[in-house]
Amino acid sequence: MALTSSDLSSLCTGSSNIFLGTVDGFVHIVTSSFRVVRSFKAHDTGSITHMKQINGTSLLVTISEDLSNEPVLKAWALDTEKKTEDRAFAALDDLSQVAIGFANGSVTIIRGDLIHDRGARQRIVFESEEPITGLQTQSGLITVLYISTTSRILTLVIAGRGQGQPARVLEDTGCALGCMTVDNETGDILIAREDAIYMYGPRGRGPSYAFESSKTSINSFRDYVALVCPPKSGPDKGDTLRKYGVNSADDILGTTTFTLLDTDLKFIAHSESLLSPMKHVFIEWGDLFLLTTEGKRLEILYERNLYILAINLAQKTGIDTLQQNAIYRKYGDFLYQRGDYDTAMQQYLRAIDNTEPSQYLDTQRIHNLIEYLEELHDHGHATVDHTTLLLNCYAKLKDTSKLDSFIKAPGELKFDLETAIAMCRQGGYFEQAAYLATKHGENDMVVDILIEDSKKYAEAVEYIWRLEPESAYHNLMKYARVLLAHCPESTTELFKVYYTGKFRPRTEIIEAEPQTQQTSSIQSLANILPLRYMTGGTGAQPETLPTTDENNYEEPLPYKVPKPRTAFSAFVDHPHEFVGFLETLVEKQDLEQESKVDLFTTLFEMYLDTAKSKKDTTEKQEWDNKAKKLIEGKDIPISTSNVLLLSDLSNFREGSTLVREQEGLRLDIFRSFTSAKDTQGAIQALRRYGPDEPQLYVDALAYFASSPQILEEAGDELDAVLQRIDQDGLLSPLQVIQALSNNAVVTMGRVKKYLSANIDRERKEISTNRRLISSYKSETATKQQELSNLATQPVVFQSRRCQSCGGTLDLPTVHFLCRHSFHERCLNRVDDDAQCPVCAPTNSTLRAIRQRQVDSADQHDLFKAELSRSRDRFGVVSDFFGRGVMRSQATMEESA
C-alpha cells in the first residue's frame, strides 16, 4: 500500500527492519529493500503515538492515544503465529466437554467444570490439512463427535468405550461450512451436499435424498429438513438450457431459496425465494424463523426515489453485484416511468447480467432495444431469441452497416449461427447469410443461399468445384436439375469429371462472365464473401466455361465413385447434355459390367430418341449411324432383347437387322421387313441372305403375292424368285400355282413365262422317259426270250478257240451257257459251281447289288432319311420302288 506523510504517526527501527505506525492504528513492517512485508491492526481506535522494538528479540511495544480514551500500551510478539479462525463449535448438554474446530484443520476438546469455573484443560484431538466445516455430537453409551472437513466425514469417540482412539473416516467426501446438523427425531447426522442430503450414523452412511442445488445451511425441523440455497453466481456457459435462454426467475433476480423437504414422503413441502440473503435459521417456540439482512436503509432511499444515493450506499457497504444490479434495475424502471428512456437504458445495461427490459419491445424505442441487445451479446448472455430480435431490428431499420458489423465482429461467436443465417435469409440479406455460412464452414448452406436465394447458379457451380468430394456430390445431386437448367455446360462437365473418378477441388480463381439481370438492391456476394472466385452480378447469367490449367487443381482426393445410374434422373429434359455425359463414361476402361450395361443401353436409347426427334434427314441419319456403330461388333454389353425392343419402339430397322444378323436369325430379318410391309427392305434381305437360306424365296413368293401394291413394288423380282425356285427345285410348279392362287393378285400373264418353261421341260422329260421306257421294255423282252430259250431249247456252241488262252479248242473242252468255251486245262477247276471267268465279275456285281436291295428292304430309317433330305420326294419313292424294296421279303429272297 502507498503511505503518505500525513498517514504516519510514529516510527522506530530494530532487528534490521523499519516499523511504521499510522493514524488509523496499523503497524507496517518495512525491510531493507523498502518493501512492506507485513501489516496488522494494532489498535482499534486512535493513532499510534509511540513504538519501541527491542533489538535482538521479536518484541514490539506500541502506545495508542485517543482524545476520548486513556492511552493504551500493547506488547507484540512478532514471531507468534497468527491466530486461526474457529469454524465450528459443539458442546455436550452438561458442558462437560466442548469441541471447537478451526480453519487450520484442527479440533480442540475442552474438558472440565465450566459451569462452576473449577478449571478446565484442553487438548487437540484431531488435525488435518483441510479446514473444519462442522462439528456435531451424538450421546449414548458412548459419546461420538462427528467431524466434517471439506473432503471427509469422520467420527471420534470422546467419552465411553473407545475413547482415545484416532478418528475413523466414514466417507471421503466432506461438506461445506454450515451444511452439517443433527436430526432431532432420529439422532442421525444430516449432511447437505450439492447433489443430495445424506444421513450418517456411527456405522457409516445411511439413506440419501436427491436434491441438486448449492446449499449454505441445513437444519432439522420436526419431520422436515430446512435448506438454504444461495443465489446462482451467474449463467453456466455449458448448460444447454441456459445457452438457449431458459433462465429461471431466481437466476435473474439473484434470490436466495429456502426449501422444506419431507424426507419420509420424499417431496418438497415448501419453497420460497427471498430477495435478501439469510443470516441465520433458528427454531424457538415451536416455530422456524429466518433471519435476513433486509437492507432497511436502501428501502428508505427507494421510497424517496434517491437511487443514486442507494447506489453509492450499496457500493460503500460492499453489497454484492447481484443486489447492486437490482438497484440499477429499480432506477431504470423509475427513469422509464418518467419517460427518460435513454438514461433508463443505461441503467439496464449496467445490470445486464439479470435484466430483461421487455418494455423496449415497442417499435418507437427500437434504438434503445438494439443498444440493449448489442450489450447482451457483448456480455455473452444472448439467447437464440435475443439474436433473432436483434437481427429483426436491423432488418426493420434496414441498417446494413450495423448488420455487417454485427456478423463480422472479431473473436468468438457471440450468437447462434443457424438463427443468424436464417434471419438474414428471411430479411433478404443473402450476402451476409452467405458470409456467415462460409466463415463457419457451412458449405451446404452456402450452396443453398447461392441457388435458392441469390439465384447465382454459375457461382454455385464454381463453389461446388471447391468442396471436398463427398460434400460436392451431395450438393451436386441436390441441385442437379436446377444447375443443368441454367448452367448446362459447366454442370455437365462437373458430372463428367466426378463420375470418371477425376474430381479434385479447384484452388485458383476462375472468373465467370458477369450475369445479366434486372437491377437489384442486393449487392454481389463477392463484396462480402471471403471467396476469391466470387464474381459480381446477381441472378442468372449466360454460362461460360473458363479454361483452367491443370496446375490450378489440387491432387486428386480418393473417393468412392458412384454408379452412373445415380445421375440419370438429373438429366431429365436435358438430352444433349445427357448424351455427352454418357459418351464420356462409356470410354472409361475400368467400368463394372453392371454399369457398362446401363451406360450402353441408355446411350443407345438416347441415340434413337435423338434421331427420332430430328426432322432433317441428314441429321437423323447421323444419329442412326451412331446408334448402329454402338451395337456393331461382338460382345456388346447391350442384351439382344433390349436392342430389339428399343429398335422396334423407335422404328430403327437397321438395329433390328444387325442384331438378328449377328444372331443368325436371317428368316426373322426377312419377316420383320415383310411384317412392316417394307418391300424394298425385304428384297435387299432376300438378295443378301437368300443364297444361304433358300426358304426365303418361298416366303418371298407368298409375300409378293399378298397384295397388288406389294406385287407392284416387287416388279421383276417376282420373276427372279420364280426362276430361283425353279432352278433349286424348292417348289413344284403345282405348289407354285397353289401359293399364287391364295390371293387373286398374280395373273396368269405374270407367270406365263414360268409356266411355259416348266411345261416345255416337263414335255421333254416325258418324251425322254417314254423313250427310256420303250428301250427298257425291248431290252427286258430280249432278256426274257433268252432265258426262255436257255431253259427250253438246246444251245449250239460254235466257238473254235479257248476264251482263256486263245488256242484252238481240243478235248476236253468246257462250254458255258453264255457261249464262252475253254480248255479244261485253262480252268482252275471244273465242277458244278464253276463259272465263266469272263462273265464272273459282272455276275458278282449283279448279285451284290441285288443283295443290297434285299437288305435295304428292312432299313426303313434309311428310306425316311432319304425322303426328308430330298427336295423331290416322289423321285425318292420311285427310286426305292425300282429297287424292289417295296415288295415282300419272301418275294425279294426268291428273286435273289
Q: Which helix (H) or strand (E) holds 671?
A: helix 666-675
Asked if residue 103 is part of any domain, the answer here is no
- What is the value of pTM for the model shown? 0.43
Measured between alpha carbons, how far is 650 from 627 in angstroms, rounded to an integer? 11
What pLDDT is recorded for position 888? 59
- Flag whether pLDDT at 320 surpasses 70: yes
**Long-range contacts: 107-116, Cβ < 8 Å, 24+?**
107/132, 107/135, 107/145, 107/147, 107/156, 109/145, 109/158
What pLDDT is recorded for position 153? 92
The stretch 719-729 carries a mean pLDDT of 75
Name 871's Cβ contacts closer than 8 Å, sequence gap at least 6: 728, 729, 730
Based on DSSP, count helices (H) and strands (E) in the chain, helices before strands. 32, 27
Mean pLDDT score of the chain: 76
pLDDT tens figures, 523-580: 344 343 444 333 333 333 434 434 444 444 445 567 888 898 888 888 888 888 988 8
Asked if residue 113 is part of any domain, the answer here is no
Measured between alpha carbons, how far is 817 from 798 in angstroms, rounded to an integer? 12
Measured between alpha carbons, how far is 531 from 663 in angstroms, rounded to an integer? 59
Q: Do 702 and 605 have their domain in common?
A: no
DSSP 3-state helix, strand, coil percentages of the chain (rounded to 5)?
45, 20, 35
Q: Do 830 and 732 have their domain in common?
A: no
Q: Do 832 and 845 have their domain in common?
A: no
> Which range marks the domain in which residue 644 is found?
567-651
Residue 210 DSSP SS3: strand
The stretch 848-866 carries a mean pLDDT of 75
Measured between alpha carbons, how far is 862 from 282 in angstroms, rounded to an integer? 131
> Of 18-27, 401-410, 830-839, which gets the smallest average pLDDT?
401-410
Q: Do 267 and 309 have their domain in common?
A: no
All three cell numbers of 248: 429461471
What pLDDT is recorded for position 318? 67
Residue 629 — left, alpha, or beta (φ > 0 → left; ψ -120 to 50 → alpha)?
alpha
Q: Do 361 and 313 have their domain in common?
A: yes
Measured between alpha carbons, how far is 628 from 301 in angstroms, rounded to an integer? 101
* Domain's final residue, options 292, 318, 351: 292
- The alpha-helical segments, DSSP class H, found in 408-521 are 417-426, 430-439, 443-448, 457-465, 469-478, 480-486, 488-499
The stretch 25-32 carries a mean pLDDT of 89
% of residues, the chain, pLDDT over 90? 8
Q: Do 393 and 540 have their domain in common?
A: yes
CA-to-CA dists, residue 213 to 39, 230, 232, 256, 573, angstroms: 39, 9, 9, 11, 65
What pLDDT is recorded for position 664? 52
Name 251's Cβ contacts closer than 8 Å, sequence gap at least 6: 231, 232, 235, 242, 354
For 367, half-sphere exposure in the C-beta direction (CA atoms, 13 angstrom radius) is 4
Asked if residue 346 is part of any domain, the answer here is yes
Q: Do 179 and 275 have their domain in common?
A: yes
Domain total of the chain: 8
* Domain's final residue, options 512, 534, 559: 559
Residue that is written with C-alpha cell 429297287 in the block = 883
Residue 865 DSSP SS3: helix
Q: Which helix (H) or strand (E) holds 775?
A: helix 752-792
Buried b (16+ CB within 10 A) or exposed e, 154-169: bbbbbbeeeeeeebee
Q: Do 390 and 507 have their domain in common?
A: yes
Asked if residue 117 is part of any domain, the answer here is no
523, 544, 593, 524: which is closest to 564 by C-alpha?
593
Q: Do 442 and 538 have their domain in common?
A: yes
pLDDT tens figures, 679-710: 777 777 677 766 667 777 777 777 777 777 77
What pLDDT is recorded for position 243? 34
> Of 239-243, 254-258, 723-727, 730-734, which gets the smallest average pLDDT?
239-243
Q: Do 327 and 394 have their domain in common?
A: no
Beta bridge partners of 14: 17
* Domain's final residue, options 503, 534, 559: 559
- Flag whether pLDDT at 648 surpasses 90: no
Asked if residue 811 is part of any domain, the answer here is yes
Measured between alpha carbons, how far is 867 from 729 in angstroms, rounded to an integer? 15
Question: Who wins on pLDDT, 805 or 878?
Answer: 805
Measured between alpha carbons, how far is 192 from 190 in angstroms, rounded to an integer? 7
734, 15, 321: which is closest to 726 by C-alpha?
734
What pLDDT is recorded for position 540? 38
Supply the CATH number for residue 240's domain.
2.130.10.10
The stretch 413-421 carries a mean pLDDT of 70
pLDDT tens figures, 587-627: 887 788 888 888 888 887 888 788 878 778 788 778 877 87
Q: What are phi and psi of 99, to 5 degrees?
A: -110, 135
> Of 117-121, 277-281, 312-316, 517-521, which gets the smallest average pLDDT?
517-521
Supply the CATH number for residue 64's domain.
2.40.10
What pLDDT is recorded for position 135? 92
% of residues, the chain, pLDDT over 70? 75
pLDDT tens figures, 622-642: 887 787 777 676 667 776 667
What pLDDT is recorded for position 246? 34
Q: Do 575 and 621 have their domain in common?
A: yes
User: Which range among 299-303, 564-568, 677-681, 870-874 has the greatest average pLDDT?
Assistant: 564-568
Within its chain, how far is the Cα of 879 from the centroid? 83
Before 575, cis peptide (omega within 30)? no
- Flag whether pLDDT at 850 surpasses 50: yes
Confidence of residue 149 (pLDDT cuts 50, 70, 90): very high
Confidence of residue 895 (pLDDT cuts 50, 70, 90): low
Q: What are phi and psi of 450, to 5 degrees?
A: -60, -35
CA-to-CA dists, residue 377 to 389, 390, 423, 547, 607, angstroms: 12, 10, 16, 46, 62
Burial of residue 258 (CB within 10 Å: 0-12, 13-18, 19+) is buried
629, 620, 687: which is closest to 650 by C-alpha?
620
Q: Do 731 and 846 have their domain in common?
A: no
Asked if residue 107 is part of any domain, the answer here is no
Asked if residue 85 is part of any domain, the answer here is no
Residue 217 DSSP SS3: strand
- Flag whether pLDDT at 148 surpasses 90: yes
